[in-house]
């Protein structure tokens, strides 16, 4: 039988993790004290601002352990945090990882989880410098604090969009949401994990490289990653910037796999594009004359599609209102959507 956490105990697990990180992880020069002390210590690089984010994933709420491997779960948990750093134009540097685990968890699953963390961090030469482990009395959880850096003053916020800006989006929002519904509707279907939409849900991609390039260019007025759904996160921009937005339904990016999935699930594909979905794509706003330059900046980072889907409008009656123009020219207001931990 595989060795469990009950077999090796807390300190045995800590020793195991430290050994794995020493073998597989890196150690930047700025890291002064790593794991093993009460605190880690690092020296910020001159001329750089620090960015800090954190995110918690709870089993049964944010992931379904029966549908995801420990390796993919580790990648996914770290990707979510990298996406937040990238949405402001930064690059990840250090991570702190806290885990709540059952005593019957196989130790090799924890190894795989950390390998997933490291796989996501490795392209940035970022490292795990500490964390915490506790026995969970209920659902397992993963809590990550990620520290990034960015040249001073070059970050892009969600509160600086302006009326007249074009709204751009990377990739294909809504595919992860459709993938989750496919997974839940027929979890025993053969070849399910190879379905492109299921893969979009289980192994999402961040856009940190593109976000950093956009921030360096100075072309964007606002930026946010899509973790609450396209409409929900656009609403965050509108709320923080005190503006409205107009979307054009004909411009929303839709690929055939999403159209087909929506048909099979008897749903409108636009619901997936706009609704709750953790795609980790970017919403970007910029002046109309800067659109082609931003498209070129993103293209230089890799073959990632970027689509103009609407424009920022003046606020309506003191607050942002999002509307959408349908193909027949009708305009309708859209209610707030996206993921809300306490409403759903």
Say if residue 188 is in the same domain as residue 328. Answer: yes
Q: Which residue has the tokens 């750089």?
A: 48
Q: What share of the chain has pLDDT > 90, as a percent?
A: 69
pLDDT, residue 344, reads: 41
| Of the candidate ranges 49-53, 126-130, 329-333, the one whose mean pLDDT is the lowest | 329-333
The mean pLDDT of 58-67, rounded to a whole number, is 85
Q: Which residue has the tokens 């606002």?
A: 222
Say if residue 223 is in the same domain as residue 101. Answer: no
Helices (H), the chain: 5-24, 70-87, 107-121, 175-185, 196-202, 208-217, 230-241, 256-265, 269-274, 291-301
| Of the candidate ranges 152-166, 184-198, 273-287, the one whose mean pLDDT is the lowest | 184-198
Q: What are phi and psi of 127, to 5 degrees?
A: -130, 160
pLDDT in tens, 247-269: 999 999 999 999 999 999 999 99
Radius of gyration (Cα) for the chain, nearest Å? 21
- Confidence class of residue 21 from pLDDT cuts 50, 70 and 90? confident
Angle at the Cα of 176 (from 173 to 182), degrees rounded to 5? 130
pLDDT in tens, 43-56: 999 999 999 999 99
Say if residue 77 is in the same domain as residue 194. Answer: no
Domain contains 343: no
For residue 95, what are the β-bridge partners? 128, 146
Helix axes 70-87, 208-217, angle to 10 degrees: 10
Say if residue 132 is in the same domain as residue 230. Answer: no
pLDDT, residue 265, reads: 93
Say if residue 122 is in the same domain as residue 218. Answer: no
Say if residue 108 is in the same domain as residue 248. Answer: no
Highest mean pLDDT out of 4-8, 175-179, 338-342: 175-179
pLDDT, residue 275, reads: 92
* Spatial separation of the C-alpha atoms in residues 185 and 317, rounded to whole Å: 42
| Among candidate residues 92, 116, 151, the one where a domain is terminated | 151
Domain contains 340: no
Say if residue 170 is in the same domain as residue 82. Answer: no
Cβ neighbour number for residue 110 with a 10 Å cutoff:
22
Number of domains composing the chain: 2
The mean pLDDT of 303-322, rounded to a whole number, is 86
* Spatial separation of the C-alpha atoms in residues 281 and 318, rounded to whole Å: 29
Say if residue 141 is in the same domain as residue 73. Answer: yes
pLDDT at 171 over 70: yes
| Among candidate residues 126, 151, 176, the one where a domain is terminated | 151
Domain contains 156: no
pLDDT at 319 over 70: no
- Confidence class of residue 339 from pLDDT cuts 50, 70 and 90? very low
Domain contains 158: no
Helix (H, G, I), strand (E, B) or coil at 247: strand
Please give the mean pLDDT across all residues of the chain. 91
Q: In this structure, is the dihedral angle defined by the CA atoms of residues 234, 236, 240 and 242, taken in order, positive or negative?
A: positive
Domain contains 270: yes
For the chain, give the number of residues: 344
pLDDT at 78 over 90: yes
pLDDT, residue 337, reads: 61
pLDDT, residue 30, reads: 80
Q: Which residue has the tokens 């360096």?
A: 216
pLDDT, residue 6, reads: 87
Helix (H, G, I), strand (E, B) or coil at 103: coil
Domain contains 207: yes
**Structure tokens given for 29:** 């020069």
Say if residue 145 is in the same domain as residue 181. Answer: no
Say if residue 182 is in the same domain as residue 263. Answer: yes
pLDDT at 143 over 90: yes
- Containing structural domain, residue 56: 5-151
Q: Which residue has the tokens 């009656």?
A: 317
* Spatial separation of the C-alpha atoms in residues 146 and 77, rounded to whole Å: 11
pLDDT at 290 over 90: yes
Say if residue 311 is in the same domain as residue 207. Answer: yes
Report the CATH number that the domain containing residue 288 is assigned in CATH. 3.90.650.10
Residues 311/245, Cβ–Cβ less than 8 Å: yes
Domain contains 159: no
pLDDT at 102 over 70: yes
Domain contains 329: yes
The mean pLDDT of 118-131, rounded to a whole number, is 94
Helix (H, G, I), strand (E, B) or coil at 302: coil
pLDDT at 88 over 70: yes
Say if residue 176 is in the same domain as residue 261. Answer: yes
pLDDT at 341 over 60: no
Q: In this structure, is the dihedral angle defined by the CA atoms of residues 150, 211, 53 and 147, taken in order, positive or negative?
A: negative
* Spatial separation of the C-alpha atoms in residues 166 and 311, rounded to whole Å: 4
Report the CATH number that the domain containing residue 71 is assigned in CATH. 3.30.1330.10
């Amino acid at each position: 039988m595989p060795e469990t956490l009950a077999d090796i105990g807390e300190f045995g697990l800590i020793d195991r993790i430290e050994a794995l990180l020493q073998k597989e992880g890196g150690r930047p020069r700025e890291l002064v004290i790593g794991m093993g002390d009460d605190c880690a210590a690092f020296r910020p690089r001159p001329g750089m601002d620090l960015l800090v984010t954190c995110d918690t994933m709870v089993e049964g709420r944010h992931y379904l352990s029966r549908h995801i491997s420990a390796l993919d779960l580790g990648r996914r948990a770290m990707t979510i945090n990298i996406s937040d750093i990238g949405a402001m134009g930064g690059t990840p540097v250090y991570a702190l990882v806290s885990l709540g685990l059952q005593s019957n968890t196989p130790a090799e699953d924890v190894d795989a989880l950390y390998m997933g963390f490291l796989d996501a961090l490795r392209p940035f030469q970022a490292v795990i410098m500490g964390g915490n482990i506790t026995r969970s009395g209920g659902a397992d959880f993963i809590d990550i604090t990620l520290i990034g850096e960015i040249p001073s003053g070059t970050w892009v916020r969600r509160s600086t969009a302006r009326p007249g800006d074009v709204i751009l989006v990377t990739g294909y929002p809504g595919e992860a949401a459709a993938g989750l519904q496919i997974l839940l509707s027929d979890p025993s279907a053969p070849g399910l994990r190879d379905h492109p939409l299921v893969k979009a849900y289980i192994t999402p991609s961040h856009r940190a490289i593109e976000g950093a390039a956009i921030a360096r260019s100075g072309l964007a007025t606002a930026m946010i990653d899509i973790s609450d759904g396209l409409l929900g996160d656009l609403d965050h921009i509108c709320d923080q910037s005190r503006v409205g937005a107009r979307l054009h339904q004909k411009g929303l990016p839709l690929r055939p796999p999403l159209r087909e999935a929506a048909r099979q699930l008897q749903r409108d594909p636009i619901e997936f594009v706009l609704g709750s979905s953790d795609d980790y794509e970017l919403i970007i706003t910029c002046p109309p004359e800067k659109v082609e330059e931003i498209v070129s900046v993103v293209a230089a980072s890799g073959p990632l599609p970027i689509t103009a889907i609407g424009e920022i409008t003046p606020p309506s009656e003191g607050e942002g209102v999002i509307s959408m123009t349908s193909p027949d020219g009708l305009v309708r207001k859209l209610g707030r959507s996206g993921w809300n931990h306490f409403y759903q």
